[in-house]
Amino acid sequence: MADQAAEVSVDDLLPLEASSELERLAAKIAIHDKAYHQNDAPTITDADYDALRQRNDAIEARFPDLVRADSPSKRVGAAVREGFSKVEHAKPMLSLGNAFSDDDIEEFFERIRRFLNLDTGQPIEVVGEPKIDGLSVSARYEGGKLVQGATRGDGTTGENITANLRTLTDLPQIIGAADVPDVLEVRGEVYMSKADFSALNARQEAAGNKLFANPRNAAAGSLRQLDPEITRARPLSMFAYAAGDISAPFAPSQWTFLDKLKAWGFVTNPLTRLCQTAEGVIALYRHIGALRADLDYDIDGMVYKVNDFAWQERLGFVSRAPRWAIAHKFPAEKAETTLNEITIQVGRTGALTPVANLQPVTVGGVVVSRATLHNADEIERLGVREKDRVIIQRAGDVIPQVVSVVIDKRPDDTKPFQFPTTCPECGSVVVQEEGEVVRRCSGGLICPAQAIERLKHFVSRNAFDIEGLGGKHIENFRNDGLIKTPSDIFRLPDHRDKLEGREGWGDKSIDNLFQALEDRKHIELPRFIFALGIPHVGQATARLLAKQYVSLKGWIAAMEDATIIGSEAFSDLTNIDGIGPAVANDIIAFIREPHNRDELERLNTLLDVQNFEAPDENSSPVAGKTVVFTGTLETIGRNEAKAKAESLGAKVAGSVSKKTDIVIAGPGAGSKLKKAEELGLQVLSEQEWIDLIRET
């Protein structure tokens, strides 16, 4: 992953960097947890997710003082989904640490040996079980009767899925045996077999329903149905593997515990084995790894558990995982197939992503017919061509990847892939910025793939800021074909009939919207340029352009001239302080695109874009002064305050020095305010600042 490569190594992080990195990781992991646990729709591979968690753990180990209250290491999974009642787990449902290599396994044994103070040669009995790729659940029996079923949820609180768990034939409803403790919680993994998954998807397809991406998602979607009858109709299975709350112990070890569960009618995994050494578990790992593709259920690794419960007790837990168990992950599953065609997808930001369309092939029980190729560089790196035989891999879930080309099997008539130079969606020219791998469509305003995001940007607060027209409205209008390009927004008043009767659009709100549109027809040039959403042209750049070219007409004419590389107009553009060649290229690519020029023309006839007026240096009390904003601004946004100050001829600086003239301090101002006071500078409250500039 590119953004991983750019990451600073944990050993080199400074405390401040570590703290912001932990914040970033907590937010990122929370998003992925939600996608995985609540929506059953993961968006990154398991391996990438593990990498995020590992980095978080490593930073926390180096900076224990910086561990956040909301640290992912203190959480397991995600919060419960609405719709089910909550179940507080009598004993938390924890997670497992991961091992990826033989060395990690040796170390796991060593750690246990050290902790328990065992002799070097002394065997450590370990139960090795396949790690089932499903969802963990807890089933509670009281007096031998199944009384409650719960998902793991966040490990402490899960969802009450009692009615759904009752539909599983792998779980006894009643345990008749006399030796059952009064309270017995059995935990295990609910999964869907590969055969059942294929049959279910075939039924879904025939009924015109959504297909499930993989057996795990199908199991999750089926188990977490609010209507248990739907769950009953879905073929779910379960392997039991652990205990939760238990009123009286009935087994001294994991092995005897599993035996007892079998006797009581639970299903345990038949590939479970007892091992004595690291070498023993590694041999079992290889053995089961070789069987993996032929098993009728997905497994993503092995789990090793210290057999003796008394030892488990002594070993205990570290944060969210037991010291007495570890998950040994399998590498991603691979398969060979033919790449029939490379097609291009255009994302919402205009990024062009090549996709490998494959001869359908089964990888780990899932039929894969498409894989991502990421970008043009990746195609080059792989040297992949249409019609090549390729190795693909499915790393746990989501989008499969092409790993390599089987060169020996390349047919004679192939040729290197030519990345398109025009956008397959709208025909606009494709551009690539220096130093960036991504290629983008330059038809920002007219490309259907980018339209919604561009339209939302166009009406956003720092752009046209049209009252009563939010992102959601734009999305709805666009989806219903009411607007396609920005100029259509200003033509909405011609289609009043199409707004009438829409949900949320009464006469009054339609009138208000049309009035707001009328008002916003008069717009300052910097806002207008910013609203166009040209890559890299933010508010500051838009202002620089407006200042240089003064009128919309002047700007467009100059940009058209600048499209001739080496022209005077081009050097004028790149000579503007603050506009580098990369930004200039983006602007030129935008202007070169005839569709964009047509749209600019339409906007120009509909709107009154005001010429840029340089602030009169003498009329403003802050002209020529250097000002610094610090603390929270309560009535205006930081960007707006900055833009306003600049429009009055002030220079806005980020730090306080002797050269600063005015410091505007809001609540929470800290070191900058202190420094201003030390230097005896003029300090104003936000209100005082507003009063000062209002006089102009």
Q: Which residues are part of the catalytic machinery? A: 131
Give me the least distance between CB of 258 and ligand IVH, in Å please. 10
Backbone angles phi, psi at 357, to 5 degrees: -95, 120
CA dihedral 151, 274, 312, 110 (to 10 degrees): -120
Q: What is the 3-state secondary structure (H, E, C) of 125-141?
A: CEEEEEEECCEEEEEEE
Cα distances (angstroms) measured from residue 175 to each of 105, 146, 182: 37, 8, 11
- The 8-class DSSP code of residue 363 comes to E
CA distances from 350 to 371, 439, 538 (A): 20, 8, 17
Q: Is the Cβ of residue 52 or residue 446 nearer to ligand IVH in the bound state? A: 52
Output the smallest distance, CB 152 to ligand IVH, in A. 6
CB of 683: closest distance to ligand IVH in angstroms? 55
Site stretch for ligand IVH (CB under 6 A), options 13-21, 197-205, 320-328, 351-359 = 320-328
The nearer residue to ligand IVH, 99 or 398, going by C-beta atoms, is 99
| Assigned token pair, 26 | 């907590």
Nearer to ligand IVH, 303 or 489 (CB): 303
Closest CA relative to residue 243, chosen from 263, 269, 261, 220: 261
If the CB atoms of residues 269 and 630 are measured against ligand IVH, the closer one turns out to be 269
Which amino acid would we find at residue 389? R
- Residue among 35 and 351 whose Cβ is closer to ligand IVH: 35
Q: In the structure encoding, which two tokens stand for residue 372, read together?
A: 């991502």
Restricted to residues 228-247, the positions that interact with ligand IVH (CB under 6 A) are: 241-242
**Cβ atoms of residues 438 and 425 within 8 Å:** no
Cα of 65 vs its chain's centroid, Å: 27
- The beta-carbon contacts of 644-650 under 8 Å, at least 24 apart in sequence, are 644/693, 645/693, 646/543, 647/615, 648/615, 648/620, 648/622, 648/623, 648/693, 648/696, 649/614, 649/615, 649/616, 649/617, 649/620, 649/622, 649/623, 649/624, 650/620, 650/622, 650/623, 650/624, 650/625, 650/626
C-beta nearest to ligand IVH: residue: 136
Binding ligand IVH (rule: CB under 6 A), the pick from 89, 131, 457, 543 is 131
How do strand 389-394 and strand 366-372 relate by DSSP bridges? unpaired
- Please report how close the Cβ of residue 298 comes to ligand IVH at its closest, in angstroms: 10
Residue closer to ligand IVH (CB basis): 326 or 339: 326
Map the footprint of ligand IVH across residues 659-678, applying CB under 6 A.
none
Among 22, 112, 132, 315, binds ligand IVH (CB under 6 A): 132
Tokens (6 digits) for 118: 């065992």
At 491 the three-state DSSP class reads coil
Which range in 129-137, 138-146, 385-393, 462-470 contacts ligand IVH by CB under 6 A? 129-137
Short-list 493, 490, 494, 495, CA closest to 511: 493
From 128-136, 208-216, 355-363, 661-669, span contacting ligand IVH (CB under 6 A): 128-136
Instruction: Please report how close the Cβ of residue 508 comes to ligand IVH at its closest, in angstroms.
Output: 53
CB of 297 to ligand IVH, least distance (A): 11
Residues of 227-237 as b/e, b for ≥16 C-beta within 10 angstroms? ebeebbebebb
Question: In the stretch 49-88, what mask flags binding to ligand IVH with x, by CB under 6 A?
Answer: ----------------------------------------
Nearest CA to 348 out of 527, 217, 481, 471 is that of 471
H-only helix segments in 432-520: 451-459, 471-479, 486-490, 496-499, 507-520
One DSSP character per residue, 646-668 reads HHTT-EEESS--TT--EEEE-TT
- Choose which of 18, 327, 384, 423 interacts with ligand IVH (CB under 6 A): 327
Contact track, ligand IVH, 81-120, x by CB under 6 A: -------------xxx------------------------
Task: Determine the interface stretch with ligand IVH among 127-135, 177-185, 470-478, 666-674 (rule: CB under 6 A).
Answer: 127-135
CB of 75 or CB of 473, closer to ligand IVH: 75
DSSP for 380-397 reads: HHHT--TT-EEEEEE-SS
Among 21, 189, 388, 425, binds ligand IVH (CB under 6 A): 189
Q: Mark residues 278-317: x for contact with ligand IVH by CB under 6 A, - for none.
A: -------------------------x--------------
Report if residue 322 touches ligand IVH, rule: CB under 6 A: yes
Min CB(441)–ligand IVH separation in Å: 41
Is residue 136 close enough to count as binding ligand IVH by CB under 6 A? yes
**Smallest distance from ligand IVH to CB 305, Å:** 7
> Which H or E run contains 344?
strand 333-346
Cβ-based nearer residue to ligand IVH, 254 or 620: 254
Integer angstrom CA distances of residue 409 from 114, 413, 540: 52, 12, 54
Closest distance between ligand IVH and the C-beta of residue 66, in Å?
Answer: 25
| C-beta of 312 vs 450, nearer to ligand IVH | 312
> Which positions lie near ligand IVH, rule CB under 6 A?
94-96, 129, 131-132, 136, 189, 241-242, 303, 322, 325, 327
